[in-house]
Structure 1
Amino acid sequence: MSLLTLTTAITGNQDPDYYAGRADAHDEHTAGTTLPVLEHRAQLIADEHFSFPYAAGYWARVLEIRHEHAATITAQTHLAHTGAAA
């Protein structure tokens, strides 16, 4: 069973498809899809999807996930090398 991610119809003067793309990427990541698979899907969507805003929203969320992973790795590496407790 999956959960539906709801977004507002229009936020920040963007096309609703933009937010639909972001929601789909978020849902897939939350369901356990790995970052390399999300990036591959984003490339396919960018090449073949009929809606540019959808593809842009999907890519935007995938890039945010990549940045979140990088920040987590950086923080964990810093803690490992300094021995600082969180």
Structure 2
Amino acid sequence: MDQLQTELKMLIIEALNLEDITVDDIETNAPLFGDGLGLDSIDALELGLAIKKTYHVVIDADDTNTRQHFASVENLAKYISENKA
């Protein structure tokens, strides 16, 4: 799981072109949106596409749990590991 979390942090940095941020800057439990990393809805779409391409896991934008899945790197890693083919 730790490796997946690190991979996700790298994916977030690459997919969203966060040039001034390193893997160490992204806290595993910190919110990705709002006060945490400060991502927005456009970032969520881009990240969703990158996750689909990398892990073949589709995150349904209409699912009521999607906000929870995107809450933190930890939640994303858990969701991906549970839904990976």
Structure ID, larger Rg: 1
Normalized against structure 1, the TM-score is what?
Answer: 0.30
Bigger relative contact order (CA 8 A; separation at least 6): 2
- Kindly indicate which of the two structures has a greater share of residues assigned to helix: 1
